[in-house]
A = this chain, B = another copy of it.
């Protein structure tokens, strides 16, 4: 533990020292940015996906773009409406997992959980890859190195989260509001230019797109339907992240559910507005957009190949560059804030992952250590796991958003579907007992909304699976299956252990006597303290035990023992091969065998040191001995610590760990108490 800690410290710098945590609830104006970054950030890539799917059939297919945008908007409206019902019915913040578990049973809950686990990984991979595209739009030297840049960003995010960040509402509010202002501002300005007839063309407006083989004009009906279905299901990437608020209801100010539902509505309206505006503007400006690795399908107006090294900007980048043609800073602002909100969206996953782990652990589906807020190791392992998995994806798919999107949406819609289904059962169950007509009416209405939501999300799920299975969705489904089986296994193990441990009457029998032995290695303070503590416990038999491998040292100790006039007998165990653990264990087992109804108490004097290198130098034997004695029935092991001066260092370290800030605290309604920020603030408010 000490070494790990030290090496982590070298890697990550000193951890933040935090003060006590308090509970601070979020007003709507802060809650919106805290929970919105994931959902809003998908505006940065969802419209692009619609354009590039349609481009399979050439630029003429772009006539369908706004119909698809409207279809996505309709689905999003249905989903938002559905989650407003969830927020009212489950204000505890359990989200989809709780809804599915409560209404459909633990199997459905585990399915949702495995979908969410996979989604967190993909949120990081997709958001960061998209962010890398934006960075490359603004900084041309990054073109061609997007995967490397994206990997570096994931490492950075992981490092920040491992180190612990003092979060506050403003960390979220500033970039999120900046993003809204930038995008909506750009769209409004673009709309004005459109109405005044001054909207310029995009840089790619004059390009032609060669359709993919099989999609040349005229399209067959089947090809058209398949094309539109693929474009629609890719566009549904815009829906990722809308469920976040349903996990965060407890962090809202009262009335919690109502405020959460209002925020959700606000979030949905903004997201839909942004998406449709961007698509309409891109269409009007004649943007051409194909898959990044199929750039050779783009031709100039005269049918020639594009020059080597041509880089197509993302939709938003192309639109911004066109609209702000006379004002380059406008372009840079839009691209920067978009990159920033994508980073924030990835960070959402780093925040949410440990929270999900903790909920799963409480239900026995994940190692119990994850349940405890204080278990730094479990927390860190989760972050490292998330970072490593998303880096693997980024490198495997070369940071290409389009290919990653194929994996992304399946998981999202699996949990949407199970959640809606759960909500329908929820209302049906409550309707069975509810008698008040007004309440019944509300419930029937809610159930109708959820049913509509389910029918939409079910259709999308089918379309997504059909169009994306071979494109990568199978990986997601495989990963979900893996997590599902793993979680079920963990749960079964805990159940088996619980069964084996279940109390019965036989365990109330008291041991008849306590035979205490105090391990002596030298006559120093820790030994004396252990002897004193053992005596104070007044066992039936008390003896000191010394393991001898050297006659001279043994004689010295026996002499000292006599000189000091201890009233405790000293027993010497002979160990020719300098073994310490085995003789003690054998002696303890032998005592117990002589008196099977008694208990043997082994007192181990330990001294507590501070630095990690001191821990390497001390107490290894005590550790091994304790580990080994645990296997001996009827033996209890008593550590009597003696604190060396240097232990103060370690105590400080432990305390720092305990009071550490965890990323994601803010979305669980836990904020740093502003009145206690340590001595660096000279005055108090």
Interface residues, chain A, with chain B CB atoms under 8 Å away: 1, 21, 358, 367-369, 371-375, 377-378, 490, 493-494, 497-498, 500-504, 507-514, 522-529, 532-533, 535-539, 577-582, 599, 601, 606-609, 614, 616-618, 620-621, 624, 626-633, 635-645, 647, 650-651, 654, 658, 670
Contact = CB atoms under 8 A, between A and B. Distances in A.
B607 A626 contact: no
A599 B490 contact: no
A577 B662 CA distance: 12
Contact of A641 (B511, B606, B614, B630): B630
Contacts of A358: 578
Contacts of A539: 537
B525 A507 contact: yes
A638 B536 CA distance: 15
A537 B641 contact: no
A617 to B, nearest CB: 5
Contact of A374 (B502, B535, B582): B582
Given A498-B524, A504-B525, 17 more contacts: A368-B618, A372-B581, A373-B578, A374-B624, A497-B609, A497-B618, A500-B645, A501-B526, A501-B642, A507-B525, A509-B532, A511-B536, A601-B638, A606-B630, A631-B643, A633-B643, A637-B639
A375 to B, nearest CB: 6
Nearest to A642: B501
A481 B206 CA distance: 73
Nearest to A489: B613
A343 to B, nearest CB: 28
A381 to B, nearest CB: 10
B535 A537 contact: no
Given A537-B537, A537-B539, A606-B630, A510 B498 contact: no
B533 A578 contact: no
B514 A501 contact: no
Nearest to A670: B577
Contact of A514 (B536, B580, B637): B536
Contact of A628 (B512, B577, B629, B654): B654
The SS class assigned to the A binding surface is: mixed
Nearest to A665: B577
Contacts of A618: 368, 497
Nearest to A624: B375
A628 B503 CA distance: 29
B497 A607 contact: yes
Given A375-B624, A601-B537, A631-B641, A503 B532 contact: no
Contacts of A630: 606, 608, 639, 641, 643
Contact of A513 (B498, B536, B601): B536
B621 A372 contact: yes
B369 A620 contact: yes
Contact of A581 (B514, B639, B658): B658
B635 A641 contact: yes
Given A580-B374, A620-B367, A644 B497 contact: yes
Q: Which of the listed residues A1, A523, A631 has the most CB atoms from chain B within 10 Å of its own CB? A: A631
B537 A620 contact: no
A630 B670 CA distance: 30
23 contacts: A358-B578, A371-B578, A372-B579, A372-B581, A373-B577, A377-B620, A498-B524, A500-B645, A501-B526, A501-B642, A507-B529, A507-B532, A508-B528, A508-B532, A514-B537, A601-B638, A630-B639, A630-B643, A631-B651, A636-B638, A637-B639, A638-B638, A639-B639
A643 B538 CA distance: 26
Contacts of A501: 522, 524-526, 607, 642, 644
Contacts of A647: 631
A562 to B, nearest CB: 15
Given A578-B371, A614-B493, A636-B533, A620 B503 contact: no
- 10 nearest interchain CB pairs? A369-B620, A507-B528, A501-B524, A630-B641, A511-B536, A631-B651, A637-B639, A638-B638, A636-B640, A608-B630
B510 A577 contact: no
Contacts of A528: 503, 507-508
A27 B305 CA distance: 87
A630 B635 CA distance: 20
Contacts of A640: 636
A20 B653 CA distance: 44
A628 B599 CA distance: 26
A620 B536 contact: no
Contacts of A372: 578-581, 620-621
A658 B575 CA distance: 13
A525 B537 contact: no
Nearest to A535: B510
Nearest to A659: B582
A619 to B, nearest CB: 9
A170 to B, nearest CB: 23
Contacts of A638: 601, 636-639
Contacts of A375: 620-621, 624
A510 B532 contact: yes
